[in-house]
């Protein structure tokens, strides 16, 4: 099979480096283009990330000598070389919005980690194992915007990917109210302990914009497809507190849920362990099996033991116990730069290919 040529916008950053690493030897995608800011453009990738390669694995050989393009200046050159770009830029939102549209107008499929288009009405926000049917919106998006080949699809914020899968698995019992506290790794801010030493031995109670995203984005993911927009779910109502903690990678969530019909413990465990993963039959290359891993042990999931389950794509959960104010509470965990960013975007692109949208 001929591989699909892809590019990475923001290839030099924390999430971009994950893309470069995860896409090495991908069976369907071939990275032909790496791009970043004018400050990195023109350098080899190895030179552009010298002294700021943040992963524990080394820079993949295929990428070292590739020339880094400028995301904006080289747009038309990049668009001629690729069929799809993964966007991991950190720029001003309006600039990203305009750039993603410009790439799609040139016939490129844009799979974005950025929040710029998450609330654009004809742009689906996807977690592949939860709402793969929302990709159907792409047909209306293309028709409305006059795009034959281009498209824009986005991933949700990393903070909610650890707990929304569990809520979806429990949807049968009609969750109405959620209180969630997230404990988020410093890589979520593009940092390491070297670049952010103040976070050693520390918790920071404020992450700009994170609580709003954690409360609102689930309503789009759990919504239904209307004629040419997503109709937002009305429930559950969510209250979120997001805290930065002294952890390198992995976002944990402590969640309490109220249901219309309170399930028994046996029903909870059965719903979580037998979640009917809607994309399982597609056998996508990076889809984890299982999607959700349940732990019965009281001291699991733990961040550094469980964030890499399923190559960082599995959602771990446990500590289900009855709650005196809500019905049930639990702990869940996901890898923020893999499942919550680059890995989740790659799985989304695989879904687009399986659905013949690219």
Ligand X SMILES: NC(=O)c1ccc[n+]([C@@H]2O[C@H](COP(=O)([O-])OP(=O)(O)OC[C@H]3O[C@@H](n4cnc5c(N)ncnc54)[C@H](OP(=O)(O)O)[C@@H]3O)[C@@H](O)[C@H]2O)c1
Going 97 to 87 to 150 to 81, the CA torsion angle's sign is positive
Question: Residues 15, 34, 126, 164: which binds ligand X (CB under 6 A)?
Answer: 15
d(CA 168, CA 329): 15
Does 14 bind ligand X (CB under 6 A)? Our answer is: yes
Assigned token pair, 322: 């009855």
Assigned token pair, 32: 């032909």
Looking at beta carbons only, is 187 or 314 nearer to ligand X?
187
Known catalytic residue: 139?
no
Does 88 bind ligand X (CB under 6 A)? Our answer is: yes
How many residues at the interface with ligand X, by CB under 6 A? 26
> Nearest to residue 153, comparing CAs of 140, 164, 166?
140
Of 117, 134, 251, 335, the active-site residue reads 251
Please give the residues from 284 up to 343 whose contact with ligand X meets the rule CB under 6 A. Answer: 336-337, 340-341
Q: Please confirm whether the linkage preceding 236 is cis (ω < 30° from 0).
A: yes
- The CA distances from residue 220 to 82, 114, 156, in Å, are 29, 16, 9
* Closest-approach residue to ligand X (CB): 13
Site string for ligand X, 47-86 (x = CB under 6 A): ------------------------x---------------
d(CA 306, CA 315): 9
d(CA 345, CA 29): 13
Of 158, 242, 317, 335, the active-site residue reads 158
d(CA 247, CA 158): 15
Question: Residues 4, 6, 7, 13: which binds ligand X (CB under 6 A)?
Answer: 13
Known catalytic residue: 242?
no
Please give the residues from 106 up to 135 whose contact with ligand X meets the rule CB under 6 A. Answer: 113-114
CB of 189 to ligand X, least distance (A): 7
**Active site residues per annotation:** 158, 251
Interface contacts to ligand X, rule CB under 6 A: 10-16, 36-37, 39-40, 71, 88-91, 113-114, 158, 187-188, 190, 336-337, 340-341
């Amino acid at each position: 099979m001929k591989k699909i040529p892809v590019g990475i916008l923001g290839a030099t950053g924390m999430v971009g480096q994950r893309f470069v690493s995860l896409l090495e030897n991908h069976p369907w995608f071939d990275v032909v283009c790496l791009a970043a800011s004018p400050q990195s453009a023109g350098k080899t990738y190895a030179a552009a990330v010298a002294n700021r390669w943040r992963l524990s694995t080394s820079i993949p050989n295929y990428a070292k000598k590739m020339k880094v393009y400028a995301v904006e200046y080289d747009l038309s050159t990049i668009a001629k070389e690729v069929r799809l770009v993964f966007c991991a830029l950190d720029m001003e939102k309006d600039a990203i919005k305009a750039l993603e549209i410009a790439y799609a107008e040139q016939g490129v499929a844009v799979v974005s980690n950025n929040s710029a288009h998450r609330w654009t009405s004809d742009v689906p926000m996807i977690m592949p194992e939860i709402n793969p049917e929302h990709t159907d919106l792409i047909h209306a998006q293309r028709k409305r915007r006059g795009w034959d080949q281009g498209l824009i699809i986005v991933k949700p914020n990393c903070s909610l990917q650890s707990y929304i899968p569990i809520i979806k698995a429990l949807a049968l019992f009609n969750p109405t109210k959620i209180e969630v506290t997230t404990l988020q790794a410093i890589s979520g801010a593009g940092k390491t302990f070297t670049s952010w030493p103040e976070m050693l031995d520390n918790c920071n109670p404020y992450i700009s914009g994170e609580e709003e995203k954690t409360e609102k984005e689930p309503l789009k993911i759990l919504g239904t497809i209307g004629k040419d927009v997503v109709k937002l779910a009305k429930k559950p109502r969510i209250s979120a507190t997001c805290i930065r903690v002294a952890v390198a990678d992995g976002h944990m969530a402590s969640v309490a849920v109220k249901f219309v019909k309170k399930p028994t413990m046996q029903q909870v465990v059965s719903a979580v362990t037998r979640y009917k993963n809607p994309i399982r039959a597609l056998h996508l290359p990076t889809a984890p099996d299982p999607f959700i891993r349940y732990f019965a042990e009281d001291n699991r999931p733990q961040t550094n033991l469980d964030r890499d389950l399923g190559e960082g794509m599995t959602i771990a959960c446990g500590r289900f116990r009855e709650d005196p104010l809500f019905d049930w509470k639990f702990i869940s965990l996901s890898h923020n730069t893999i499942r919550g960013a680059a890995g989740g975007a790659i799985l989304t692109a695989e879904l687009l290919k399986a659905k013949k949208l690219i």
